[in-house]
Amino acid sequence: MNKTYKLYQIDSFTKEKFTGNPAGVLLDSEGLEDLDMVKIAREMNNSETAFFIDKGGDGYDVHLRFFTPKNEVPLCGHATIAAHYINAKNKGFKGHVRLVQRTLAGNLPVDIYENNGEYLIEMTQGDIVIGDELDIDLQRRILKALGLRENDLIREVPIAIVSTGYGKVFVGINDLDLLHSLEPNMNELIEISRDISCNGYHVFTLDLDDKEVLSHGRMFSPISGNNEDPVTGNSNGPLGAYLVHLGLVDNTKDNFTFYAVQGEAMGRPGKIRVSVDIKDKKPILVKIAGSAVEVFSTDISL
């Protein structure tokens, strides 16, 4: 017997349709087979689709799974924002609601803040893992694939893999126009991803004098089936941790919060708030926050 599911397209890290990062969300996903989830994610053709199971267990309130058009991934920032936004909107949440979501990256809190019918979703990310600077030969392969030279780099930012649940390679460069003009060799990035078991490359600039927007970035992830991601929670969150770790921002207080913009080169700009808790000048916890907007919904029977 077929069951009808409600499927949504949500744009995250924005309040304007057709900007930010699109995610599919399927509510009431209990009972779906893994293969069904892959097929739905492939049909939606977003970087990720979230499958929301509104059923709690030991230490969590809801269960979320995330699928690219190819496979399941441990965690996805913008799809988390999307899923909790539409769930809160449908249920009419008021004030502040905290839910703990079960993911492959662990049980993580999500805070939903309602103000006059608008929702801000804040997601606590996973454990911070900051890798060593990558081998010089590997760095050269990455730079060549991205179309960069060594003198394009921010010298104070070693190329390294940083994770708050789903690691990315971080490459800091010194020119915003160059960032927007990049045309990477996607096949080379795929080969490197296979060698290092890391699916994404977050290339970013910094403006330490801008009191509103600290970073502009682009995130390339061709091995996941989507060459470029518009606004990425799983890269901007660890970027904040990395900047605190390197001492490039004020790490003398117990928190550093900033905004990052991404998606401009794709015509899908979005803004993400990154908050890093600090102890002894080192990052200990990362949260990301953003708004969202519903683009459309449909019923699907399986």
- Of 245, 193, 246, nearest to 219 (Cα)? 193
Query: What's at 271, amino acid-wise?
Result: K
Query: What's at 225, amino acid-wise?
Result: G
Query: 132 in helix, strand or coil?
Result: strand
Give me the catalytic one of 16, 30, 33, 48: 48
Q: How far is CA 170 from the centre of its chain?
A: 14
Q: Is 48 a catalytic residue?
A: yes
- In contact, 12 and 271? CB cutoff 8 Å: no
DSSP conformation class of 134: P
d(CA 85, CA 62): 14
Q: Any idea which residues carry the catalytic annotation?
A: 48
